[in-house]
Amino acid sequence: MQCGVVATDSRALKGGEMFFALKGENFDGNEYAMKALEAGAAYAVVNRDAAVASSDDPRLIKVDDSLKTLQELARWHRSMMIVDGKPLTVIALTGTNGKTTTKELIREVLSVKYNVTATEGNLNNSIGVPLTLLKISKQTQIAVVEMGASHPGDIKELVDIALPNYGLITNVGKAHLLGFGSFEGVMQTKGELYDYLRRTSDKVFINADNPHLCRMASERNLQSDPERPYSLLIPYGLEYQGAEVLPSSAEHPFLRISVPCQETGTSRIIETRLVGSYNADNVMAAIAVGGNFGVPFEEAVKAVEAYVPSNNRSQMNRTERNVLIVDAYNANPTSMAAALENFSNVSADCKVALLGDMLELGEESLAEHVAVIRSACSRGLNRVCFVGKEFKAASSEVEGDILSDARFFETSAELAAYLAEEQLSGATVLIKGSRGTRMENVIPML
């Protein structure tokens, strides 16, 4: 039995795949197993207790749990990959914010020297991580695997599948509090990556400027050897490396960083295509990873400079009427605060913020949305528009005068209709919100 490709979507089959019939809250892939075989799948892995398992079709592989089987297959596949006589290098990446951008930057930098397999998009959960691992081929020299989490134990589950020998946590912040319960819960869950690498005595890339990450590393004794204070840690960071974020302007709207270059003894200005100083840590992480794997500094910088973000992440778009700063893929209190702080430093005659609800915050949702309203409305912006029920509920908790330039909408579609009538022109516009608010709906009206 041999298949070169694994698939979980019966609608995307091209022929010859091994189809895994996965079951979720709102779907059951077992119901499509026979259709997958008809569409060209070589085999279909189905749950033993599913109705389709009663068929005697030899192409059906019957298991107790198709998802667990997918994960076990991915773990085995990853463990069998040997490069130059050594286990394949797998870098695991997680964090509250910046995971996908950092992963993309690391991919670009490492690709200068290596054949890299990396997570596509944000397929970073219990299904996406196995699918990424199963795309590793004999040509792969390094794999970069993004890992997301919304509940305690999520990262532990994923590292036990991916078996990483390097790890990086971009940061920790307030996100998915409904699942984690608290900020301490976030730190504990993200720290499961450190726990794994501590047990295996493998390496951690750490932002030495981030007190939360340093505390997490210290609590796990990652610096326990006094003779080798960074025995398990590979540190980086703006302050740690003496780098500096340069001011943005109309002439230089994108992130620029002045970084000392040890190879030349001078400073090199990195001209990125990213918006927001909060992306500086992501850039420094990618440069650090590249340096550890022998990518020359100048080549790493050029790779970062060539990277153009997509999928509504840290993008700057110029329409016929306005300049748009689009960071609408997701939002939480930490990333929202960073986006507003960066927007305050943008030089523009007219500035408008369009902000969508931050979802999955649990009991802290009201307080966090109140804080964002107060922050956004106190920055001297020409207009602020809020989208969603969470912001609407929070507005009643905010004193009246500060809301004079604020408007509230139930949905992004309502805001889009409002903007279609307003015909906003000559403005620099920040667009940010959780994925569920679909803030990208407003872009065509600007």
Domains for the chain: give ranges and CATH numbers.
6-64 (3.40.1390.10), 70-306 (3.40.1190.10), 315-445 (3.90.190.20)
> Mean pLDDT over all residues of the chain?
91
What is the rounded CA–CA span in Å between residue 214 and residue 232? 12
> Exposed, middle or buried, 47 (CB in 10 Å: 0-12/13-18/19+)?
buried
Predicted confidence band at 1 (pLDDT cuts at 50, 70, 90)? Answer: low
Residue 17 CB coordination number (10 Å): 23
pLDDT tens across 50-104, in order? 999 999 999 999 999 999 999 999 999 999 999 988 889 999 999 998 999 999 9
Number of other CB atoms surrounding residue 336 within 10 Å: 26
**Mean pLDDT value of segment 329-341:** 89
Highest mean pLDDT among 16-25, 160-169, 218-227, 252-261: 160-169
In which band, very low, low, confident or very high, does the pLDDT at 315 lie, cut at 50, 70 and 90?
confident
For residue 351, the SS3 value is strand
Look at residue 143 in the predicted model and tell me its pLDDT. 98
pLDDT at 252 > cutoff 80: no
Strand ranges, E, within 294-426? 315-318, 323-327, 351-356, 383-387, 406-409
Task: Tell me the average pLDDT across 267-275.
Answer: 93
> Quick one: average pLDDT of 311-323?
85
22 pLDDT above the threshold of 80: yes
Please give the Cα distance from 230 to 240 (Å, whole number): 14
Q: Is the pLDDT of residue 438 over 90?
A: yes
Neighbour count for residue 320 (Cβ, 10 Å): 6
Alpha-carbon distance 139 to 129, whole Å? Answer: 19
Q: Is residue 19 predicted with pLDDT exceeding 90?
A: yes
Q: What share of the chain is helix, strand, coil (3-state, %, to 5)?
A: 40, 20, 40
Would the pLDDT of 249 be above 80? no
pLDDT at 193 over 90: yes
Question: For the ranges 17-21, 50-54, 199-203, which has the lowest average pLDDT?
Answer: 199-203
| Cβ pair 108, 142 in contact under 8 A | no
Q: How many residues does the chain have?
A: 446
Determine if the pTM surpasses 0.85. yes
Give the highest mean pLDDT range of 182-186, 343-347, 408-412: 408-412
Structure tokens at 303: 């790779």
| Location of structure tokens 């992480």 | 285
- The pLDDT, as a whole number, for residue 373 is 95
Average pLDDT for 409-423: 95
> pLDDT per residue over 281-303, tens digit each?
999 999 999 999 999 999 999 99
Quick one: pLDDT at residue 227?
Answer: 58
Q: What is the DSSP letter of 243?
A: -
Least confident of 179-183, 187-191, 387-391: 179-183
DSSP H helices, 181-258, are 183-190, 192-200, 211-219, 238-241
Give the pLDDT band (50/70/90) at residue 224.
Answer: low
Nearest partner of 307 among 144, 157, 132, 105, judged by Cα: 105
DSSP-assigned letter for residue 69: H
Specify the pLDDT at position 201.
83
Place of tokens 């009643």: 396
Token reading at 181: 């319960």
Numbers of helices and strands, H then E, in the chain: 16, 21
